A and B are shown apart, each in its own frame.
Chain A
Amino acid sequence: MNESLSHIFVDALLINNFVLCVFLGMCSFIGLSGKFSTAWRMGVSVMFVIIVSSILSYGTNLVLVRFHAEYLRIITYIVIIAATVQLTEMFIKKTSPALFRAMGVYLPLITTNCAVLAVPLFQTSRNYSFVQSVVFAIAASGGYTIAIVTLSLVRERVELSDVPSLAKGTALTLVLAAILSMAFMGFAGMGNGG
C-alpha cells in the first residue's frame, strides 16, 4: 500500500507509538525514565542512531536484495546499528567531550534497544521508499522520545508523592505506562476518520 508521508508520520509518532502501542524499546523505557535529564538524553541519542542506521540499512538492504542474500538481514542490521553506535560514540568523544560526558553512558545501551533494530526491519517489511523510510525513522524515534520524556517527568512528579512502599519501583512505572498507553488510544484511527 502506498502510504502518504503524513500518514506514516502520524502513525509512527502517535497512533502506533513505538513504545506505548507496539512495545519496542521497553527496557530503556522502564529503566531510564526515572530522571528527566537521563530520559531526554537517551531520547536524543536514540533518535540520532535510529535515523542514521535507518538510512544506512536502507542502502544495505538494496545490496542484499541485489545479491539475493536476504537471510543476512538480521545480522547486517545489527552490525550496522552496533557500528553506528560505536562511530557516534567515537565522533562525539572527539568533537565534544562535554556532550560525550552527557551522552556517553547511554550510547552503548542503544545497541540492545529493540526500537532501533525494529525501524530497519519494519521499513524493509513494509517496502518503504527512501523518503518514507526517513520519515518513518524520524517519527518512530520521535514517538520513543515523547514517550520516555513524558514518563520521566511524570515519574519525577510521582517521586514527590507518598507512594505505598509495596508499589514503588517497576510496578508503579508500569501502571503509569498503562495509563499513558490508554491515553494514546485516543489517537487510534487518526487521519482516517472522515
Chain B
Amino acid sequence: MNQDQPTCHSASPEPSPSETFVAFTAGLWKQNPVFVMVLGMCPTLAITNSVRNAIAMGLATTFVMASANAFISMVRKLVPKQVRIATYISMIATSVTIVDYLVKAISIPVYKALGPFIPLIVSNCLTLERAESYAGKNPIGKSILDGLGMGLGFTFALTCLGTVREVLGAGTFLGFPLFGSNFEPWVLFLLPPGGFITLAMWLLTFTLWRERSDKRKRAREAALEKPVEIAS
C-alpha cells in the first residue's frame, strides 16, 4: 500500500506544495482506506444502507480523524514510546465523545440511524492506523490534511457503497425515489448480506480497474523504453 507514495513524490515537479497536496489526496484515491487498505470495515458495511447515513458516518469519521490527528501531532514529540498507544487512544476517544455529542445535538434521527457506530469509531482500525503511521511522525498541518483526506476518502467509499445499496435496495437516492413507485426493490441490499456483496463488487471493480491501468502503464513504459534501447 505504501509504495504508492514515493512514486507520487518523485513524479511531482515541485516538492513542497505538492507534498501537502499528496497528503490530502492520497487517502481519496491512491490509498483509499476502504478500497485499497481495507480498513474500517465495520461502519463500511453496517452504515451504508442509505446514502444519507453513509455520508453522515463518513463526515463523523472525518472529523474524528482530523481532530485526533491534530492532537496527536501536537504532542507527538513529548510522548514516550511506551505510552504511545494509550495516549493516542485517549485522544481518539476524546474526539469521538465530542462527535458523539455534536451529532446528537445536530440531529437525533441521524444519531439513531448511526446507532452504536459513532462510539465505535474509537476502535476503527483506520483512526489508530493513521495516528500511528502518519500523525505520530508528521507536523500538525500535514496531519490534519491527512486526517481530512483519509476521512474524505472514507466518506467517498461509504457513499459509493451507500449509493448502490440504496438505489438497488430501495429504489431511492438520498430518499428521492428514482424509478417510480412500481420499482421492485432488491431488499437484499439493505440487509447484512447486501453489505458484503456490495463491498465485494466494489473491490472487484477496483481490482479490475487497477489491473487494467497497470497494464496500460506497463505498456506505456515499454513503449517509452523501446526507442531508448534502439538509440543506445
- Could you tell me how many residues of chain B have their Cβ less than 8 Å away from some Cβ of chain A? 41
Contact residue among A30, A31, A114 (Cβ-Cβ distance under 8 Å from B123): A114
The residues of A that contact B196 with a CB separation of less than 8 Å are 174-175, 177-178, 181
B124 lies within 8 A of A114 (CB)? yes
Q: Do B193 and A27 touch (CB < 8 A)?
A: no
B228 at the interface (CB under 8 A from A): no
Query: Size range of the interface on A?
Result: 35 or more
User: Contact at B40–A174, with CB atoms within 8 Å?
Assistant: no
Known: A73-B119, A174-B196, A174-B203. 4 other contacts (CB 8 A): A117-B123, A118-B116, A166-B211, A169-B203
Q: Does A79 contact B (CB under 8 A)?
A: yes
In the docked arrangement, what's the CA distance between A178 and B196, Å? 5
When distances are taken between beta carbons in the complex, the residues of chain B under 8 Å from A25 are 42
Does B19 sit at the interface, judged by CB under 8 A? no
Q: Which residue of B lies closest to A167 (CB)?
A: B204
Query: What are the interface flags for A165-194 relative to B under an 8 Å C-beta threshold, 1 for contact and 0 otherwise?
Result: 011011110110111011001000000000
Give A116 to B96 CA distance when docked, in angstroms.
16
Judged by a CB distance under 8 angstroms, whether B157 is at the interface is no
Whether B195 pairs with A23 at a CB distance below 8 angstroms is yes
Cα distance, A175 to B89, chains bound together (Å): 32
Bound CA–CA A29/B204 (angstroms): 19
Residues of A within 8 A of B (CB): 20-27, 29-31, 71-75, 78-79, 82, 111-114, 116-118, 121-122, 125, 166-167, 169-172, 174-175, 177-179, 181-182, 185
Q: State whether A178 touches B193 (Cβ < 8 A).
A: yes
Selected A-B contacts with CB under 8 Å, 11 pairs: A24-B42, A74-B119, A82-B85, A118-B116, A121-B116, A166-B204, A169-B203, A170-B203, A174-B203, A178-B193, A179-B193
